[in-house]
Amino acid sequence: MSRSEELFERAKKVLPGGVNSPVRAFRAVGGSPRFVVKGLGSHILDEDGLEYIDYIGSWGPMVLGHSHPDILKAVYDRMVNGLSFGAPTALEIEMAEKMISMVPNIEMVRMVNSGTEAVMSALRLARGATGRDKIIKFEGCYHGHSDSMLVGAGSGALTQGEPDSKGVTKGAAQDTLMAQYNDLASVERLLDANLGQVAAVIVEPVAANMGVVPPKNGFLQGLRDLCDKHGALLIFDEVITGFRLAAGGAQEYFGVRADLVTFGKIIGGGMPVGAYAGSRALMEQVAPCGPVYQAGTLSGNPVAMAAGLAQLQILTDHPEVYTVMETSAQYIANHLRASAEKHGVKMQVNQVGSLLCPYFTDTPVDCFAAAKTSDTKKYAKYFNEMLLRGVYLAPSQFEAMFVSSAHTQKDLAFTVQAADESLAAL
Ligand SMILES: *Cc1c(COP(=O)(O)O)cnc(C)c1O
């Protein structure tokens, strides 16, 4: 038994499924999760001394790779002065000012501790500000695990959603309406059927929790127009895309304005941070300025702020990282397509910026239904072949491959060679 396997057996006795977040458990791909000892740049090392090129990057936060010296130094320098006060610190202002300087159309920020919290709070604000109850979300988009977002399309999808998890009440689900990604008509139907009742449309500007699904030309602008027509707010959930697609996130990358934006992952530099942001008029609805209550004991935690701020500073000091990452992701995508063709494997590779995903299907993937046509058994095999060769991919078809600025030419060449061999072995 490997050390990771031993640890997993032990973990299963005290942690549900042996993990603290479900996808880590490798259930979709089989085998035993690797227990990580450390990470440096694009590489991670597991308990058995095996080294991998990491394309998860903590599911997005490690956009500059692991253990970036500037970020570690910022954390050390800050932590020696105390870990948390529950009182304001200057760092929180610096963080908000930094975000506002980077991201278009935001004037004020509220820090929280996770993406889930950011979305949950932004939805409350949207409801509070509009006086409306209903929210439109898209099938296959993930917005964290708050009750109203764990909803699937029910039979009465035109009017209300169905709980997608045990423990979510019908009451929490009934105000969530489900539309189809990249299908403006599906949004318009919901808005028309629920006139004057929709507080917000929430969307991942690039859907990155059903693999990677880019928005079609005009889709995001179409949402903007529909929201304006119906007096609903447009929320970009940029927990993945924020500071990743561009310094200003998807609003900058696609040139479409959102009313509220949620952040997580990259914003903490590897520490647990989330945030939501918008215009002054909207954000001043939040307590203690306004009637929408939201709070947090550890929100704006100084050590977490130090890590996040250091990461954002590096991203602004080195804007070239965005082209570097995009070029790297394109390189992998092109080689995957060529290898798939060479070995007769049916594959679609979607790529936007530093995000990409190979689907084992003939069907172009532009929505959740299309993503589900992928042969997930093939993905599982591919995943395990890659792992054997030292490339650590997401243990599920329906997750992105995250390229960081730390991936070197050598890493990329190694990766596409491993992929070529893995696809040949399918
Ligand atoms: C990860 C994610 C979340 C949830 O963030 P957590 O920090 O895991 O709570 C929300 N929205 C999107 C788009 C995400 O990718």
Helices and strands (H and E) in the chain: how many: 14, 16
pLDDT digits (tens, 9 = 90+) for 341-351: 999 999 999 99
Ligand 1 pocket test, pick from 59, 119, 298, 399 with the greatest ligand atom count within 8 Å of Cβ, gives 119
Do 214 and 350 form a contact (C-beta atoms < 8 A)?
yes
pLDDT band at 157; cut points 50, 70, 90? very low
Distances (CA, A) of 243 to 63, 264, 417: 9, 10, 30
Kindly give the pairing relationship between strand 233-237 and strand 260-263: parallel
Q: What is the mean pLDDT of residues 311-334?
A: 98
Check residue 164 and give its pLDDT.
86
The answer to whether residue 161 scores a pLDDT higher than 80 is no
Burial profile 367-393: b = 16 or more Cβ within 10 angstroms, e = fewer: bbebbbebbbebbbbbbbbbbebebbb
Q: What is the mean pLDDT of residues 12-27?
A: 96
What is the CA(158)–ligand 1 centre distance, in A?
Answer: 26
Q: What is the mean pLDDT of residues 39-51?
A: 98
Q: Catalytic residues, which ones?
A: 142, 237, 265
Q: What is the mean pLDDT of residues 386-395?
A: 98
Check residue 240 and give its pLDDT.
98
Q: What is the mean pLDDT of residues 31-39?
A: 97
The one-character DSSP state at 269 is B
Ligand 1 pocket test, pick from 19, 116, 149, 357 with the greatest ligand atom count within 8 Å of Cβ, gives 116
User: Which residues line the pocket of ligand 1, CB cutoff 6 A?
Assistant: 114-116, 119, 142-144, 204, 209, 237, 239-240, 264, 274
* Residue with CA nearest ligand 1 atom 5: 115
Q: What is the mean pLDDT of residues 15-23?
A: 96
Residue 274: strand pairing partners: 112
Please tell me whether the peptide bond between 288 and the residue prior to it is cis, using omega within 30 degrees of 0. yes
The answer to whether residue 136 scores a pLDDT higher than 60 is yes
* Residue with CA nearest ligand 1 atom 8: 115
Ligand 1 pocket test, pick from 138, 143, 212, 239 with the greatest ligand atom count within 8 Å of Cβ, gives 239
The answer to whether residue 159 scores a pLDDT higher than 70 is no
Mean pLDDT over all residues of the chain? 96
What is the CA(116)–ligand 1 centre distance, in A?
Answer: 6
Do 385 and 391 form a contact (C-beta atoms < 8 A)?
no
Per DSSP, the three-state class of 77 is helix
What is the CA(386)–ligand 1 centre distance, in A?
Answer: 26
Q: What is the mean pLDDT of residues 298-320?
A: 98
The one-character DSSP state at 187 is H
pLDDT band at 153; cut points 50, 70, 90? low
* Residue with CA nearest ligand 1 atom 11: 143
The answer to whether residue 155 scores a pLDDT higher than 80 is no
The answer to whether residue 89 scores a pLDDT higher than 50 is yes
What is the CA(142)–ligand 1 centre distance, in A?
Answer: 7
pLDDT band at 152; cut points 50, 70, 90? confident
Among the ranges given (122-126, 143-147, 150-154, 186-190), the one the predictor scored with the smallest mean pLDDT: 150-154
Percentage above 70 pLDDT, the chain: 98
pLDDT band at 162; cut points 50, 70, 90? confident
What is the CA(341)–ligand 1 centre distance, in A?
Answer: 34
Ligand 1: atom nearest CA of 274 is: 7
Distances (CA, A) of 330 to 55, 323, 337, 357, 376: 14, 10, 10, 11, 23
What is the CA(399)–ligand 1 centre distance, in A?
Answer: 12
Q: What is the mean pLDDT of residues 163-188?
A: 94
